[in-house]
Amino acid sequence: MARIKPQALLIQSKRRKGPTRISLTTIITWNIVIILAVLSLYATYRHWHHRSSNQLRTDLPNFEQSESSGESSKLNLPSYAILETAKGSITMELFKDASPEVVGKFIELCQKGHFRGMPFQHVIKNYVIQGGDSQGLGAAEDWIVKGKAHGQLAISPKHEAFMFGTTKAKLNSEGFDIFITTAPIPDLNDKIVVLGRVIKGEDVVQEIEEVDTDEHYQPKSLIGINDIILKQEL
């Protein structure tokens, strides 16, 4: 048996104990796997974070939008109505907060030209002038009697002269009367929904009030509403 030299034994021992080499392909493959895993975890995190943020946004602004839309719609309503009559113009400030539904109906009818060409059908001196669809005041004489009988009652701002409104009895019908008071009327709230007040053209109202009428308080000469113009600002 041949004898192995000490140097050869040392080389052989190193070869046996030496670590196993990892190929470059294996290293690259594992690096790619690790990178993909990290990217997948990051993408998952971004997805759930974005979803929770969107959910929070849809919960909050919807409430804010619903309130702001209501406010904006109210602000967009015209604030003034100008009655163009045969005697001149009457400018009225609309009370949008007091009776929003009734004011809204009035504005809608104005936009459709509903009042264009309508006459003032009844003129009751020191009481009201009335125009619109109705052919009767509903016992106008009773209005005057009650107005005089309750003349000593306390008067609120709603009962002042030059207030603009419509009859409660006509709210649910197709017609729409318009009234302008020419004197303080204590029992006005029993008959009229106040929509606004005259801020310019009181002299025109008084001139209409002075026209001659028959026994049914209908003007003997035609006084018409030429048009009603709506404005946001004067």
pLDDT tens digits, 76-111: 789 999 999 989 999 999 998 877 888 988 999 999
Answer with the residue of higher pLDDT: 72 or 51.
Answer: 51
Position with higher pLDDT, 126 vs 88: 88
Is the per-residue pLDDT at 67 higher than 50? no
Report how far residue 132's alpha carbon sits from residue 1's, in angstroms, rounded to the nearest whole number. Answer: 136
Cβ neighbours of 217 (radius 10 Å): 21
Pick from 195, 77, 47, 217: which is nearest to 142 by CA?
217
Question: Cα–Cα distance between 78 and 107 in angstroms, integer?
Answer: 8
Domain assignment of residue 95, given as a range: 80-231
142 occurs within a structural domain = yes
Which ranges of the chain does DSSP label H, i.e. alpha helix? 6-17, 24-76, 100-111, 140-149, 202-209
Nearest alpha carbon to residue 146 among 86, 100, 202, 192 = 192
Our count of domains for the chain comes to: 1
Q: Does residue 47 lie within any of the structural domains?
A: no
Pairing of strands 128-131, 178-181: antiparallel
What is the CATH number for 166?
A: 2.40.100.10
Q: What is the largest CA-CA distance in the chain?
A: 155
Rounded to two decimals, what is the model's pTM?
0.61
pLDDT tens digit sequence for 134-193: 554 454 445 544 544 444 434 444 568 999 988 776 555 566 888 899 988 776 666 778
Q: Is 43 domain-assigned?
A: no
DSSP 229: E
Assess if residue 12 is contained within a domain.
no
> What is the mean pLDDT of the segment spanning 195-213?
94
pLDDT digits (tens, 9 = 90+) for 15-33: 555 555 667 788 888 888 8
The pLDDT value recorded for residue 32 is 87
